[in-house]
């Protein structure tokens, strides 16, 4: 029986604010329909609610798998009440229009990241069917149905309805379109999460030990991604460009990321800040492993997406000072990341340096109080297990190009050092091997063409992003100065000519690690032998474009 009141259908998993929303709708003259747990919650609050089964004259079946999938629900959701034929059809079928739907979906993303993981059947049960169908139908017919997927919109919808004295038709079409777009974004994001999760479960994620063919075969046939805008940034790389920060749907799945980091102090983060911070955090995570147990403290200093100083040390202050010494001039206005909680001693050591952003898994109270005395300091906290940055995880990298995307996997270089080949007459010493392992890890994060010179476990000169490899050597050597003498040099790709190696020898490098693979390798090896340099071939190129 049509009561003449506007009808609202409420069926939500996230019940935040639903009782208050429903109460306000009733006060505005709405009649409520609901399902399952939502109906129980509303009835417990003393509200009069009609069950969906009362409307459909059909019980919920299969443990609630089928509730709202019925013409008596979807007819009113899709009826075009501006058309005489649809109005007559509703009357003939004795259907009552539904003017408002509040629906959000089973929390598939949270279920997919559960620890321990849900088994296959339990995960499949978290795929909502009726909910997305109602949401999409309501959004399609937004001229007649107000759709709400986000509890954050409840108050504004009530305010809009109050302005129209409870008449749903009084809601402007622009507002209805806004809510419909939100609804489609909600269901699209939901489907992306399902497709990506099931692909990973059923096909596996590319692993580092897979062959290139095996890795490629595990990529999706369709590239799917979903992110939610967190905030509008001040501007892009330059003032004439607009920019925004988006967060991945799964970024809150039990791990702290750059996007979800706690930001405090100074101005809001900019596009460039986030871009540089990503490069800094990525390298610091790469060094935050058990590979160097006697020197667990990592410090990374980055400027314009390239490291200008990197060090590992037995204590945090030494790690900072050694990293800074690599290129103190470039460190002005840089981004710095530590892999351990920042102490007061470290904060005091940094007192005279202007830093754009400081990143760490935490700060002692004394260190934070000291740092925040300068109002232009921005602190990012990447909450981490055991107060230490988690190592760099294997991930998928997307890069947009004209007309599409290119996709690759990324992880720290996995080099079998036992199989790396000494190609010169002079053998590489154990100390040089230790430095090479560190240098290669840093070199992998430097823009190509890249040259890194190290002493021990600290960079002394970095030549980034050059079109000529020999020029990258010159830059690294110039920055290293006297510290180039006796240094270990890492190159991200082979030396195409002997001139790069000769330039390194002239600067004072004593050992070189490079992938090898040039048609002129022997020419380069002969030059190394003539100059008394030890050289190791890893077979692993480390380009970063």
Where along the chain do its domains lie? 7-197, 261-387, 413-537
In angstroms and rounded to an integer, the radius of gyration of the C-alpha atoms of the chain is: 30
Q: Which of 46-50, 64-68, 450-454 has the lowest mean pLDDT?
A: 64-68
Angle at 311 between CA 315 and CA 369, to 5 degrees: 55
The mean of the pLDDT values for the chain is 90
Share of the chain above pLDDT 90, in %: 66
Structure token pair of residue 308: 């200008």
pLDDT of residue 139: 95
Catalytic-labelled residue, pool 5, 15, 70, 304: 304
Q: Is 304 a catalytic residue?
A: yes
Q: To which CATH superfamily is domain 413-537 assigned?
A: AICAR transformylase, duplication domain (3.40.140.20)
Structure token pair of residue 140: 């399609």
Question: Looking at per-residue confidence, does 325 or 405 come out higher?
Answer: 325
Q: Report the CATH fold assignment for 7-197.
A: Rossmann fold (3.40.50)
Neighbours of 496 (CB within 10 A): 16
| Separation CA 540–CA 112 (nearest Å) | 35
Give the torsion sign (CA, 69, 71, 72, 77).
positive
Whether the predicted pLDDT of 155 surpasses 90 = yes
Whether the predicted pLDDT of 213 surpasses 70 = no
DSSP state of 437: H
Does the fold of domain 261-387 match that of domain 7-197? no
pLDDT of residue 214: 66
Q: How are strands ordered across the β-sheet holding 421-422?
A: 262-264, 378-381, 355-360, 334-338, 297-303, 306-313, 458-463, 451-455, 488-491, 511-514, 534-537, 421-422
pLDDT of residue 409: 78
Q: Which one is the CATH code of 261-387: 3.30.1490.20, 3.40.140.20, 3.20.20.70, 3.40.50.11030? A: 3.40.140.20
Q: Which of 47-51, 181-185, 263-267, 375-379 has the lowest mean pLDDT?
A: 375-379
Q: Which of 186-200, 239-253, 266-280, 518-532 has the lowest mean pLDDT?
A: 239-253
Catalytic-labelled residue, pool 5, 15, 70, 140: 140
Q: How confident is the model at residue 67 (pLDDT cuts 50, 70, 90)?
A: confident
Q: Is 74 a catalytic residue?
A: no
Q: How confident is the model at residue 504 (pLDDT cuts 50, 70, 90)?
A: very high
pLDDT of residue 210: 61
| Separation CA 407–CA 395 (nearest Å) | 11
- H helices of 152-302, where? 154-163, 173-203, 212-217, 271-287
């Amino acid at each position: 029986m049509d009561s003449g009141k506007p009808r609202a259908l409420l069926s939500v998993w996230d019940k935040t604010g639903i009782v208050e929303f429903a109460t306000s709708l009733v006060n505005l003259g709405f009649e409520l329909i609901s399902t399952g747990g939502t109906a129980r919650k509303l009835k417990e609050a003393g509200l009069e609610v009609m069950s969906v089964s009362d409307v459909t004259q059909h019980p919920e079946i299969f443990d609630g798998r089928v509730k709202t999938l019925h013409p008596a629900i979807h007819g009113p959701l899709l009826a075009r009440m501006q058309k005489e034929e649809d109005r007559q059809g509703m009357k003939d079928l004795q259907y009552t229009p539904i003017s408002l739907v509040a629906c959000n979906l089973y929390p598939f993303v949270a279920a997919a990241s559960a620890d321990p993981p849900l088994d296959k059947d339990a995960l499949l049960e978290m795929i909502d069917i009726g909910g997305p169908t109602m949401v999409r139908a309501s959004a399609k017919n937004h001229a007649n149905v107000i759709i709400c997927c986000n509890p954050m919109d409840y108050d504004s919808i009530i305010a809009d309805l109050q302005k129209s004295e409870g008449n749903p038709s009084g809601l402007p079409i622009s507002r209805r379109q806004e809510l419909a777009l939100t609804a489609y974004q909600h269901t699209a994001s939901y489907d992306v999460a399902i497709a990506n999760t099931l692909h990973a479960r059923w096909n596996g994620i590319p692993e580092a030990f897979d062959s290139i063919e095996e890795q490629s075969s595990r990529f999706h046939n369709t590239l799917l991604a979903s992110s939610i805008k967190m905030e509008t940034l001040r501007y892009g790389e330059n003032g004439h460009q607009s920019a925004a920060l988006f967060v991945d749907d799964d970024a809150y799945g039990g791990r702290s990321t750059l996007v979800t980091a706690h930001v405090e102090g100074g101005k809001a983060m900019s596009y460039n800040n986030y871009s540089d911070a990503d490069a800094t955090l990525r390298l610091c995570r790469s060094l935050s492993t058990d590979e160097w147990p006697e020197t667990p403290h990592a410090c990374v200093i980055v400027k314009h997406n390239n490291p200008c100083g990197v060090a590992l040390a037995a204590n945090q202050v030494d790690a900072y000072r050694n990293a800074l010494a690599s290129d103190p001039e470039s460190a002005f206005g840089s981004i710095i990341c530590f892999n351990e909680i920042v102490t007061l001693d470290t904060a005091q050591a940094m007192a005279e340096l202007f830093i754009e952003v400081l990143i760490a898994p935490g700060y002692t109270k004394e260190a934070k109080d000291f740092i925040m005395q300068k109002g232009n300091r921005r602190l990012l906290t990447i909450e981490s297990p055991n107060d230490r940055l988690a190592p760099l995880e294997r991930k998928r990298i997307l890069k947009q190009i004209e007309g599409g995307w290119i996709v690759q996997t990324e992880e720290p270089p996995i080099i079998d050092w036992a199989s790396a080949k000494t190609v010169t007459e002079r053998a590489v010493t154990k100390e040089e091997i230790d430095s090479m392992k560190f240098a290669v890890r840093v070199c992998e994060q430097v823009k190509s063409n890249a040259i890194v010179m190290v002493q021990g476990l600290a960079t002394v000169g970095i030549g980034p992003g050059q079109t000529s490899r020999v020029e990258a050597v010159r830059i690294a050597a110039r920055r290293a100065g006297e510290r180039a003498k006796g240094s270990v040099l890492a190159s991200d790709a082979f030396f195409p000519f002997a001139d790069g190696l000769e330039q390194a020898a002239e600067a004072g490098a004593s050992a070189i690690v490079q992938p090898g693979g040039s048609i002129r390798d022997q020419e380069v090896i002969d030059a190394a032998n003539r100059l008394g340099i030890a050289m190791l071939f890893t077979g692993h190129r480390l380009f970063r474009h």
